[in-house]
Amino acid sequence: MAESPLDRLLELSCTEIERRAALAAPSPSPFDSGASAFRSALGSASTVPVPKRTVPVTQHLAGIGDSVLALAVHEAAPELSWVASPRTTDGGRDVALAPINDIRDLGSLTCGLMLLAPNAVYPEHSHPPQEIYLPIAGGGSWRYGGQANFRMLADDALVYNNPGDIHSVVADDEPLLALYILWP
């Protein structure tokens, strides 16, 4: 079966996590573990049909720029299904998720895209699985990695959350788009 734009987006994202993981110290790091889990899940991903949904914040996808990954997101847009985050009450006005598990069987790995409107906040939360965010577009201030403060990220940085770490992100004055993976 021909690779779809969504498959290409996932492949590019996994390759980018692998590349950024190779830049991270110390090595091996949880980034390597996450990249390996993601690569393995993609190797056996099958397509799950789902009705396409959308929410108001997706209007901001027009402002995510033209990086290789951003262009891949634009191309995959017809396959993505956006929903309001269960951690917000805004009905998808400022925050939304595109859960990839709704459209690809990724086994025990959870993957999705997170989109924030300019200046929007993804609420502080925690969960048992560890997590990596791959920032795709936009800047912001992140709470992550067991730290209590919010920090800007270096270029090419990945975000890692240990199991149970409280984490959050606040977008700056541009829309913020990131891909996330959670794995056991």
- Distance, CA of 57 to CA of 17 (rounded, Å): 26
| Least distance to Fe ion, CB of residue 144, Å | 9
| Least distance to Fe ion, CB of residue 106, Å | 16
CA atoms within 13 Å, Cβ hemisphere of 104:
26
133: number of Cβ within 10 Å:
22
19: number of Cβ within 10 Å:
12
| Least distance to Fe ion, CB of residue 57, Å | 18
Residue nearest to Fe ion (CB): 131
| Least distance to Fe ion, CB of residue 112, Å | 10
Of 27 and 108, nearer to Fe ion (C-beta) is 108
Of 68 and 166, nearer to Fe ion (C-beta) is 166
| Least distance to Fe ion, CB of residue 165, Å | 9
Of 44 and 147, nearer to Fe ion (C-beta) is 147
Q: Residue 172 corresponds to which tokens in the numbers above?
A: 């700056």
Residues 76-135 that bind Fe ion (CB under 5 A): 131
Size of the site for Fe ion (CB under 5 A): 1
| Least distance to Fe ion, CB of residue 89, Å | 17
Of 27 and 162, nearer to Fe ion (C-beta) is 162
Of 131 and 174, nearer to Fe ion (C-beta) is 131
Query: What does the per-residue mask of binding to Fe ion show for 6-35, with x meaning CB under 5 A?
Result: ------------------------------
Of 94 and 131, nearer to Fe ion (C-beta) is 131
Binding site for Fe ion (CB under 5 A): 131
